[in-house]
Homo-oligomer: A and B are copies of this chain.
Amino acid sequence: MWLNLSSIFKKLSTDPNVRAIVLTGAGDRAFTAGLDVQAASAGPILGPTTGDPARKAFSMRRYILDFQDCITAIEKCEKPVICIIHGIAYGLALDMCLACDIRFSCKTTQFSVKEVDIGIAADIGTLTRLPHSVGNHSWAKEICLSARVFGSDEALTHGLVSRVCEDKKGAVEQGLELARLIASKSPVAVQGTKELINYSRDRPIADGLNYTAIWNGAMLQTQDAKDAMMSGIQKKTATFSKL
């Protein structure tokens, strides 16, 4: 399934018909309840059953890197991804939504960084992306070390989501509305904005500015800038070609 997710996002990334993506879980009960513990306790997540501990470590490292790559495909997707998190959102739910660009949740969403409860440190992205995504590091460690369930109010207060909606239906509607708004804009501008924020988040200010300068050296040559400016002056709606 994860390889599937990855190949879908790789395809969406360069599909010229796609301008923004809304990601949510099927059904009303859960975004995802995370790992199926029963299945996992037998499966590759705990590694091979033969070999010495070093060989097992190599094997698991390969497995984790592959799994991480699947989730990172969301972050690397050139198009913005809006994540609607509803119902139960445990474990992998956090790994996934933190790789998205924008997070909306519902009044009843129940979050948990559940991994310590199954005896492991989360390794598919939560512990890496969370301290780069929210401002309150005391809270970030509290939820990761305790695995306690928390609601949308905390998620909003401490900066994990930017909007709390009434329910899944409302959240999807707001997500789609935002996606439509983004899709109405120049894809050159939108995709550049995602890339430049992601690049700068990880690097010193000077590096972010320098990368931005060569990026826009190319991107300002787009027809979209002329069309968008003209549409602003003429109070008309511009249409931007695919990317």
Contacts and interface: CB of A to CB of B under 8 A. Distances in A.
Given A54-B222, A142-B178, A41 B233 contact: yes
A230 interface: yes
A204 interface: yes
Given A116-B186, A120-B189, A159-B159, 15 more contacts: A46-B221, A46-B225, A51-B241, A53-B56, A55-B188, A57-B214, A116-B193, A119-B238, A121-B188, A122-B196, A132-B205, A138-B160, A139-B159, A145-B190, A203-B204
A1 interface: no
Given A123-B216, A219-B57, A132 B137 contact: yes
B208 A214 contact: no
A226 interface: yes
Number of copies: 6
B243 A132 contact: no
